[in-house]
Amino acid sequence: MSDQEGKDMKGRPRGLLSSWRFLVALLVAVVVYAYGWRETEINIHTLITGAPDIVHIVTQIVQPDLLARDKEYQAAYAEFQLPCAATPPSQPARSESEPYLVLSHTCGSTGEPLSVEGFNFRPNTRGTLRWTPPVGTQRSLQHIDSDENGHFVLAVSVPAVEESEQVQEIEAELRWNVGIPYPSETLRVVLDKMVETVFLALMATTFAIFIAVPLSFLGARNLMGGHRGTVILYFAVRGFFNIVRSIEPLIWAIIFAVWVSIGPFAGVLALGMHSIAALGKLYSEQVESIDPGPIEAIRATGANALQTVIYAVVPQIVPPYLAFTIYRWDINVRMSTVIGMVGGGGIGFLLIQWVNLLRYKQAGVAVWAITVVVWVMDYVSGVVREKIV
């Protein structure tokens, strides 16, 4: 809006709000955003009411399954008959040193209260009371906490299991950790896959460099402007870069997972493909922005075309090429963590599996590993780029 239009007949400036163009724009904006709100099903209410649902996921993710310890067990058994028959099972034998259970009665019916008392167990230890019917599956009845004398009393009710002439088994098992913590199986698997992930990014970036560098010269207007043929080649290369670059690595991963079957090789190809185009475009723009002065000077010495490229072009493009390459490798490490979700190998495959199995403690390990690796790569590439550019 010019100054003229912003003033009324008396020459006083009018407020922004009284301009009809502004009001129309405002109205259009309101309609667009209202429609967008509806279309994307934005619902602030669920954002608040749904929050408790993620608490247990988050608490498990922040307590990842990093370390494990060896466990020792102690168990004692008792027999119970459901329903009562002519001769109910006898109470377990009492011992001076071994743990044993004492039941309030050894036969009865479903739902009846039953008291289970334990003696000579390991003091101050946790465990579980389980019920094993002769037919069907075992079930856990209650947690056990032994006191300082290794004694506990539990009040349970006879569970609704199938009645049988055979005896039902009651088991009290206590567990405790021994020895020093060591890396969990999860951590070992994650580290193994993380190495695969980092190498996946390395291989993809390296392959991309070898193809993108020669292509970048063909995609530089200042080098390819000479003849009709070279101009056609220039447009072909640029078109290839733009099309390939506009297809996300995840889509490439799906294509290559079918092509070379699921695994890290598919991931290397997917990231490599995208990187060729992305690097190629950045490289060729760098070639286009070099200083023509040195080229002129080197040509004037009687140098041939190869010498001109090596002495006048290469020294100008090596540092920016390195910077772009490190940046790309950085992106590829980040991308390789998710490419596994669609079959491209690396840590993403584990992560999506654990999430689908609701094993969030394991998923947490993968999430933390990704965070650490990406952070370290970010930092390292930042330092390296600063050094060379």
Asked if 389 interacts with other proteins (CB under 8 A), we say: no
Asked if 307 interacts with other proteins (CB under 8 A), we say: yes
Asked if 269 interacts with other proteins (CB under 8 A), we say: no
Asked if 294 interacts with other proteins (CB under 8 A), we say: yes
**Beta carbon of residue 297, minimum distance to other proteins (angstroms, whole number):** 4
CA 286 to chain centre: 34
**Beta carbon of residue 299, minimum distance to other proteins (angstroms, whole number):** 6
For 35-50, b/e burial (b = at least 16 CB within 10 A) is eeeeeeeeeeeeeeee
- Supply 139's token pair: 């079930």
**Beta carbon of residue 229, minimum distance to other proteins (angstroms, whole number):** 18
Judged by CB, which is closer to other proteins: 212, or 298?
298
Identity of the residue numbered 255: I
Site residues for other proteins, 319-378, by CB under 8 A, read 319
Contact 92, 100 (CB under 8 A): yes
Asked if 301 interacts with other proteins (CB under 8 A), we say: yes
In DSSP terms, which residues pair with 131 in a beta bridge? Answer: 139, 170
Judged by CB, which is closer to other proteins: 236, or 388?
388
CB atoms within 10 A of CB 54: 10
Write out the E strands in the chain. Answer: 67-82, 100-103, 113-119, 126-132, 139-145, 152-157, 164-183
**Beta carbon of residue 370, minimum distance to other proteins (angstroms, whole number):** 37
Judged by CB, which is closer to other proteins: 68, or 322?
322
CA triple 215-384-213, angle to 5 deg: 5
Q: Segment near other proteins (CB under 8 A), from 100-108, 127-135, 181-189, 296-304?
A: 296-304
**Beta carbon of residue 247, minimum distance to other proteins (angstroms, whole number):** 35
**Beta carbon of residue 6, minimum distance to other proteins (angstroms, whole number):** 41
Q: Is the dihedral angle over the CA atoms 144, 147, 151, 153 positive or is it negative?
A: negative
**Beta carbon of residue 224, minimum distance to other proteins (angstroms, whole number):** 16
Judged by CB, which is closer to other proteins: 39, or 291?
291
Q: To which residue do tokens 């998923």 refer?
A: 363
The CA distances from residue 337 to 20, 257, 346, 386, in Å, are 51, 16, 6, 25
Judged by CB, which is closer to other proteins: 260, or 318?
318
**Of the candidate residues 12, 17, 306, 386, the single one contacting other proteins (CB under 8 A):** 306
**Beta carbon of residue 339, minimum distance to other proteins (angstroms, whole number):** 36
Judged by CB, which is closer to other proteins: 313, or 367?
313
Q: Phi, psi at residue 220, to the nearest 5°?
A: -105, 120
CA 139 to chain centre: 34
Asked if 315 interacts with other proteins (CB under 8 A), we say: yes
Q: Is 74 helix (H, G, I), strand (E, B) or coil?
A: strand
Asked if 90 interacts with other proteins (CB under 8 A), we say: no
Q: Phi, psi at residue 146, to the nearest 5°?
A: -80, 150
Asked if 52 interacts with other proteins (CB under 8 A), we say: no
Asked if 246 interacts with other proteins (CB under 8 A), we say: no
Asked if 298 interacts with other proteins (CB under 8 A), we say: yes
- Give the residues lining the site for other proteins (CB under 8 A): 291, 293-294, 296-304, 306-307, 310-312, 315-316, 318-319
